[in-house]
Chains A and B, each alone.
Chain A
Amino acid sequence: MSSSPFLQEEEYAGGRFNWRLWRRILSHAAAHRRWLWTMIVSGMVLALVETLLPLSNAWLIDEAVAGRTDTAFKLYAAFYIVLVTMFSLLVWIFIRAAGHLATGIAFDLREQGFERLQELSFSYYDTRPTGWLVSRLTSDCTKISSLLPWFMLDLSWGACFLVGISVAMFLLDWQLALWVLVIVPPLSMVSWYFQRKLLRSSRLVRRTNSIITGVYNEGLMGVRTTQALAREQESLEEFQQQSGDMKRYAIRNSLQSAVYLPCIISLGAVGVGMALWKGGVQIQGGTDLSLGNLIAFMQYAVLFSMPIQEIAARITDLQAAQAAAERIQGLIETVPEIRDNPEVQAAIADAPLGGPEDGGLAKIHTIEFKHVDFWYKPDEPVLIDFNLSIAEGQTIALVGSTGGGKTTIASLAARFYEPQRGEILLDGVEYRKRSLHWYQSQLGVVLQTPHLFAGTIRENIRYGCLEATDSEIEQAAKTVNAHSFISENEGGYEAEVGEGGTRLSVGQRQLIALARAVLADPQVFIMDEATSSVDTETEQLIQAAIDTALKGRIAFVIAHRLSTIRGADRILVIDHGRIVEQGTHRELLQNQGRYWRLYTRQEAEEAESRMGL
């Protein structure tokens, strides 16, 4: 087996700015187009206002220097007030627009990602840890959505502001403008150079950060083990290496910023100095440059670095988030391996109300595996030319050693996976021609390790049938003999089970999972070693309950203990993906084959211990 692909995925994609990717991400924001335009237009108007501010200031100064306090003076003053009020209004508008945009995009990306995750096949989950997937929907979405509005704003504002300042300076005095604009090439180069450096070092920081998150997560999941092994100290020492790396990288990153900003300030000062020197010489020489305009030039020289810095920073931000965008886009665009094909989708659309959603038969009488081949990896076949037929009311027990393919058969029956070759037929109809949702709602599945959701016991049982009444829920619990322990527990049905059901014992979890499956009243029952952790007494009771529950249904049962499957109609001994033996318990024992050996070994051990050996 290969080791995880995630470490590589954490590596960020090449440095190129991927416009196509961002356009695709933006296409998710199509519903928020008006907010997008609001941001862009706000940015432009803002740039205009900010260009006009030093100008109006210059006019005011020239009026003042000339000693005039007439109408023009008051007009400029009023104009200035109007500009600043417009500025505030724009701020109000673009922040709200950014809010709509950011939260809207995050919402949509999450919604689409979540929806896709509900459809993706288990083969997708098999190779990706839960935590990894969770952060796609949480931090990646937050990152992208909170960057986009500001990218839009700063790009439109920055570009317009640069143009605005340049135009204003050229209009005032083109020669002096050229002197001040001397700083633009070095300013751009310095910004670009440092942003590249910062991009690289901040990637390192983020990568280490995600490793640290992983270590915390593992620490939390494995805290019992760590404590039981008394290796708290070692665990901390290992962590300290990671946190030490993090510190080094973070400092490196900060030091780069610490050099970058002073460089920008100094270059801005060069612009101011140029304006002062060349402008001052001009005034001394008696040209028509006014004092007000000289002051405006000095203000522009300081302002010039702002849009350059912002644009460089926003592009870098976006580039830094590119990997996040790729991951979320990748998730949304992944096509589920198992889903309704177009014909089934059409059938669902045309199906009459009532009955199965795809308009097919509501009852499943037989399930047939025909020449089924299956593998998780091409070179390691799990099932080869597997055949099996099971009819309504029958219980099939799957027996055999670990890794023989029992679980795979159950997963295929549940359509968690689909065969690579051959077909599985429901009453003669290939199950890929039926609605996936319909079929899976006919299933009652009890997994090897029962999973409960955080919530009350009642909520967990109700998961089997959302419309069930309280009394139906209690009835289901009684069927699997879970009622007595539930009502004995404090809180009864309202008791919280904790995350993953951890406040209950494994046996209790199993009982709840069984009650849940029974409540679903499924046509097909699939149990994967479900009873193996329940204590003998409870198991006996469950066995009785299941015998009733399985009546009239198609059932697949996987169990280690032969006792739990003795009631099966047919027992399949599976080894290396094939049925090596099948028949009833009695028949198989008479065969004296594989099953008989399995069976007698267990019996012998029990007999041996009874004799005190």
Chain B
Amino acid sequence: MFDRLHTIWGLLEGQRLRYLAALVALLVAAMLLYAVVIVPQVVLDGVLTDEIKEGSLPERVGLWLLGGREFLSENLWVAAVAVVGLTLLAAIATYFRGRWVAIAAESVIQRLRDRLHGHLNCLPVTWHDQAETGDTLQRCTSDVDTLRNFLAMQIIEIGRALAMMLIPLPLMLMMDVRMTIASVVFLPFIIVSSLFFFGRVKTIFRGKDEAEGRLTACVNENLTGIRVVRAFARQEFEQEKFYSRNDDHRRLDYKLYAVLSWFWAASDELCFLQKAVVFILGAWWVAVGSLEIGTYYFFIAAVSMYIWPVRMMGRLLAELGKAVVAADRVHEILESPIEVVTGSEIPSHGSLAGSVQFDGVTFAHAQTPVLENVQFNLSAGRTLAVVGPSGSGKSTIINLLLRFYDPDVGVVRVDGVDITTLDRQAHRGRMAVVMQDPFLYSRTIHDNIALSRRGATDEEVHLATRVACIHDSILEFDKGYETVVGERGVTLSGGQRQRVAIARALLQEPDILVLDDALSAVDTRTERLILEAMRDRHGKQTTIVIAHRLSTLTAADDIIVLDHGGIIQRGTHETLIAEDGMYRRLWEIQTTIESTEEEGRA
């Protein structure tokens, strides 16, 4: 518990002084509010009752400050002014408390949000593969909101409850010891019962949050796959699935209300009993003449002032449970190790840069061996094609080259330098990758392309889009290059996205260009145009191409054939089709059609 509160304490760094100032303002406000209560007490005892008594120290001080008995009984309005005036001061202190806490809390939360965003960007791809997007998103949003509520409101409410409870204690002791004891006798029960519920509520909250996560994930899955759902007319199946998640969530949510109903009812009962003890015992002592009516008033007013904050403390501790859970969940993300910074060397940008070497590389993903002893050498400016069936490890080669993963055994070198010794960002910055299903940001097409190179001019962007054969399509949109795409904008087709991504990669003018089945959704005619245009740029960069259409690959300088994580053939297109092996078999499959067509035409 306390080590977890420590997490929250850690978050406050830099804002602790402001919190301290808020605490002082809070104490001042609490003191003033109790001073307000002494005014009627003084009036009741000093002016409105007949018998003159000495009274306790606070009362005597109060009477003196209000101008003495004679003056006050002539000018009762002074008491009213004192009540309003003191409350105004308390109100001003309360304002400053609110102001300082708001600034402190929002600053803490802004920093937390930034940290989360930055951290998520830097977490290795392997982490993202494992994590569920919906769950992560919930941690970044609703859990952060929970923390924000805690830091902006609850933390100060806890302080307020403590201040309201502790500040009147000395005053009460000076006034009447019996009444003081009567006024606090139930407080331990109230607090203990809070703590008892605190434990239970926390686990229920966690359960409910998880149910909520499952519910969200279920909706998300359904909606992203809605076309599949329709295609198989599986609406009922989906509804049943959703029903059970929804029902689960309802059940757990209600459980929370049920527990809270006991908690609130019980703690209200305890609070009222506490008040009843003060009311009735006090009245009794007033009746028998051992307590003055003004002092009695002070006690009943004071108990009403601190009992609710104290009772709230129970609820706040429950919220603290929520906040601790939220802090845990957020910290699970922040504590996940980011991509290890193994190197800091900045790779050199040279005209002849970009040679790639895989030296005995072995890699397993989740205990499944993916690559085994892969070895190849690609000189700068040349084109390597990687061929092989699904799951043969083609994409892993690229992931390793990009350092999304690091090899278990062996070394990947770029320009002869082990890439694990390089600064990761600088290393990635000299490569451009186009994946089969490229991601576009929710911004304009122009920005999506231009973000690969700072300060790119429109001409450069358009040059890249022309090479990628997307320029004309873009101009067909109503807003042309200013069309917003992605989640919040226009949905592009797979082929359009691939071509936009190719333009983005070309604009970057990378040393190494990687096309991972990047033309699969583009029709043959367009693919041919793109490849021709790119061939004109040949020699500018090292290129690695993965594709299933062998026609895409034939122009490559080197071809390696991958199967079950190992290179089974290598050579150029000519040497490979001369060889008996997988490549020739693939080639034959793809060209058999021709021979049948020859006949057809004859």
Residue A3, interface by CB 8 Å: yes
Q: Would you call A85 and B269 a contact (CB within 8 A)?
A: yes
In the complex, what residues of A have CB within 8 A of residue B351's CB? none
Q: Is the CB of A99 within 8 A of B261?
A: yes
Q: When each residue 587-609 of chain A gets 1 if its CB lies under 8 Å from chain B and 0 otherwise, what string results?
A: 00110000000110111011001
B280 adjacent to A77 (CB under 8 Å): yes
Residues of B within 8 A of A274 (CB): 80
Complex contact A269–B83 (CB within 8 A): yes
Scan A237-254; emit 1 where CB is below 8 A from any B CB, else 0: 001100110110011001
With A258-B98, A277-B80, A451-B227 already in contact, the answer to whether A538 and B600 are too (CB < 8 A) is no
Tell me the minimal C-beta distance from B552 to chain A in angstroms.
9
Judge if B457 is at the interface, Cβ distance under 8 Å.
Answer: no
What is the number of residues of chain B that contact chain A, defined by CB distance less than 8 Å? 193
A534 lies within 8 A of chain B by Cβ: yes
- B residues near A225, Cβ cutoff 8 Å: 438-439, 441
- Alpha-carbon gap, A40 to B493, bound state (A): 54
CB–CB B227/A220 < 8 A: no
Asked if A561 is an interface residue, CB under 8 A from chain B, the answer is yes
Using an 8 Å CB-CB cutoff, how does the interface string of B422-447 with A read, 1 for contact, 0 for none? 00111011011101111101100000
Contact across chains for B250 and A103 when beta carbons are under 8 A apart: yes
Task: Give the contact stretch, choosing among A165-173, A347-355, A426-434, A435-443.
Answer: A435-443
Which of these binds chain B: A188-196, A315-323, A503-511?
Answer: A503-511
A85 to B268, CA, bound (A): 9
Pick from B113, B276, B521 the residue with the most CB of A within 10 Å: B113
Are A276 and B524 touching (Cβ within 8 A)?
A: no
Assuming the contacts A84-B276, A214-B488, asked whether A535 and B388 have C-beta atoms less than 8 A apart, the reply is yes
Question: Closest approach, in angstroms, between the C-beta of A331 and any C-beta of chain B?
Answer: 12
CB pair A84 B76 closer than 8 Å: no
Contacts of B542-579 to chain A: CB distance below 8 A: 548-551, 554-555, 573-574, 577
Q: CA A231 – CA B447 in complex, angstroms?
A: 13
Expressed in whole angstroms, the minimum distance between the Cβ of A353 and any Cβ of chain B is: 17
Q: Do B390 and A505 touch across chains, with their CB atoms under 8 A apart?
A: yes
Size of A's binding interface in residues, CB under 8 A:
184
For residue A466, which residues in chain B have a CB less than 8 angstroms away from its CB?
234, 237
Which residues of chain B are within 8 angstroms of A84 by Cβ–Cβ distance? Answer: 269, 272-273, 275-276
Q: Is the CB of B128 within 8 A of A220?
A: yes
Of the candidates B226, B243, B297, B517, which one forms a contact with A506 in the assembled complex, judged by CB atoms under 8 Å apart? Answer: B517
Asked whether any CB of chain B lies closer than 8 Å to the CB of A115, the reply is yes
Complexed CA–CA distance, A453 and B132 (Å): 13
**Contact partner of A247 among B106, B283, B284, CB < 8 A?**
B106
Across the interface, do A259 and B479 meet the contact criterion of CB distance under 8 Å?
A: no
Q: Is the CB of A114 within 8 A of B242?
A: yes
Q: Which of A222, A513, A610 is within 8 Å of B441, CB to CB?
A: A222
The interface residues of chain A lying within 8 Å CB-to-CB of B473 are 403
Given contacts A110-B246, A216-B117, A416-B230, contact A57 B300 (CB under 8 A): yes
**How many angstroms from the CA of A89 to the CA of B490 in the assembled complex?**
56
Is the C-beta of B417 less than 8 angstroms from some C-beta in chain A? no
Checking B91, B99, B260, B428 against A227 with a beta-carbon cut-off of 8 angstroms, the contacting residue is B428
A498 within 8 A of B: yes
Partner of A218, one of B222, B487, B600: B487
Q: When chains A and B are docked, how far (Å) is the Cα of A506 from the Cα of B235?
A: 25
Partner of A4, one of B122, B235, B489, B551: B489
**A2: B residues at CB distance < 8 A:** 478
On whether the beta carbons of B219 and A137 are closer than 8 Å, the reply is: yes
Residues of chain A in range 377-395 having any CB-CB distance to chain B below 8 Å: none
Instruction: Please name all residues of chain B whose beta carbon is closer than 8 Å to the beta carbon of A262 when the two chains form the complex.
Output: 90-92, 94-95
Please state if B585 and A537 are interface contacts (CB–CB under 8 Å).
yes
Considering the chains assembled together, what is the distance between the CA atoms of A79 and B441 in angstroms?
68
Cα distance, A466 to B234, chains bound together (Å): 9
Q: Is the CB of B452 within 8 A of A229?
A: yes
Cβ–Cβ contact A3 & B484, under 8 A: yes
**A104 with B250: CB separation less than 8 A:** yes
Interface check B593, CB cutoff 8 A:
yes
Q: Does A533 contact B (CB under 8 A)?
A: yes
- Residues on the A chain within 8 Å of B235, using CB: 118-119, 437
Determine, out of A126-134, A366-374, A469-477, the stretch whose residues face the partner at the interface. A126-134
B395, A505: Cβ atoms under 8 Å?
yes
Contact of B193 with A by CB under 8 A: no
Question: Assuming the A-B contacts A99-B261, A602-B524, are A586 and B239 also in contact, with contact meaning beta carbons closer than 8 angstroms in the complex?
Answer: no
Inter-subunit contact A73/B283 (CB<8 Å): yes
Q: Given the complex of chains A and B, what is the CA–CA distance between A148 and B294 in angstroms? A: 43
Known: A243-B114, A454-B217, A538-B390. A258 touches B102 (CB 8 A): yes
Distance, CA A130 to CA B268, complexed state (A): 44
List of A residues within 8 angstroms of B40 by Cβ: 272, 276, 298
Task: State whether A236 and B117 are in contact (beta carbons under 8 Å apart), knowing that A464-B232, A537-B585 are contacts in the complex.
Answer: yes
A133-B594 CB under 8 A given contacts A220-B136, A291-B48, A536-B548: no
Q: Say if the beta carbon of B475 comes within 8 Å of chain A.
A: no
Q: Are A585 and B600 in contact (CB under 8 A)?
A: yes
A280 interface contact, C-beta 8 A = yes
Q: Which of the segments A60-68, A155-163, A547-555 contacts the partner chain? A: A60-68
Which residue of chain A has the shortest Cβ distance to B454 in the bound complex? A234
Which single member of B280, B391, B451 contacts A234 (CB below 8 Å)?
A: B451
Please give, as numbers and ranges, the residues of chain A lying within 8 Å of B26 by CB-CB distance. none
| Complex interface bits, B233-267 against A, C-beta within 8 A gives 1, otherwise 0 | 11101110011001101100110111011101110
Contact call B98/A226, Cβ cutoff below 8 A: no
A202 within 8 A of B: no
CB neighbours of A232 from chain B (8 A): 118, 121-122, 425
8 Å CB contact of A65 from B243, B293, B390: B293
CB neighbours of A291 from chain B (8 A):
44, 48, 293
Given contacts A84-B275, A277-B80, contact A453 B221 (CB under 8 A): yes
Q: Which residue of B lies closest to A504 (CB)?
A: B391
Q: A453-B221, A506-B436 are in contact. Are A401 and B526 (CB under 8 A)?
A: yes
Task: Give chain A residues whose Cβ lies under 8 Å from the Cβ of B79.
Answer: 273, 276-277, 280
In A264-310, the 8 Å CB interface with B consists of: 265-266, 268-270, 272-274, 276-277, 280-281, 283-284, 291, 294-295, 298-299
**Which of chain A's residues have a CB closer than 8 A to the CB of B260?**
95, 99
Contacting B at CB under 8 A, from A480-518, are 485, 489-490, 498-500, 502-503, 505-508, 511, 513, 516
CB distance from A203 to the nearest CB of B (A): 16
Task: List, in ascending order, chain A residues with CB within 8 A of B65's CB.
Answer: none
Find chain B residues with CB under 8 A from A104 CB: 250
Taking CB as reference atom, which chain B residue is nearest A60?
B283
List the B side residues contacting A589 at CB < 8 Å.
597, 600-601
Are B76's CB and A277's CB within 8 A?
yes
Determine the chain B residues whose CB is within 8 A of the CB of A605 once the complex forms: 528, 551
Task: Return chain B residues, CB-CB under 8 Å to A345.
Answer: none
- Per the bound structure, the CA–CA distance linking A67 and B389 in Å amounts to 100
Of chain B, the residue at the smallest CB distance from A4 is B488
Q: Determine whether the beta carbon of A276 is less than 8 Å from that of B83.
A: yes
Q: Is A219 a contact of B94 with CB atoms below 8 Å?
A: no
Q: Is A92 an interface residue when CB atoms closer than 8 A count as contact? A: yes
Cα distance A443–B129 in the bound complex, in angstroms: 32
Q: Does A123 contact B (CB under 8 A)?
A: no
A250-B102 contact, Cβ under 8 Å, with A103-B257, A107-B250: yes
Q: A3–B490 contact, CB under 8 A? A: yes
Query: In the complex, what residue of chain A is closest to B142 when comparing beta carbons?
Result: A139
* Chain B contacts for A507, CB-based, 8 A: 389-391
8 Å CB contact of A95 from B76, B77, B265:
B265
Given contacts A111-B246, A224-B125, A262-B95, contact A134 B284 (CB under 8 A): no
Interface residues of B in 377-411 (CB under 8 A from A): 388-392, 395, 402, 404
The answer for the CA separation of A298 and B79 in the assembled complex, in Å, is 13
Q: Which 6 A-B pairs have the closest CB atoms?
A: A99-B257, A258-B98, A507-B390, A609-B554, A262-B91, A84-B272
Q: Beyond the given A265-B91, A269-B84, could you list 4 further A-B residue pairs with CB under 8 A, ordered by the A residue number? A: A221-B439, A262-B95, A560-B523, A610-B577
5 contacts between A and B (CB under 8 A): A114-B239, A246-B113, A280-B47, A499-B133, A537-B582
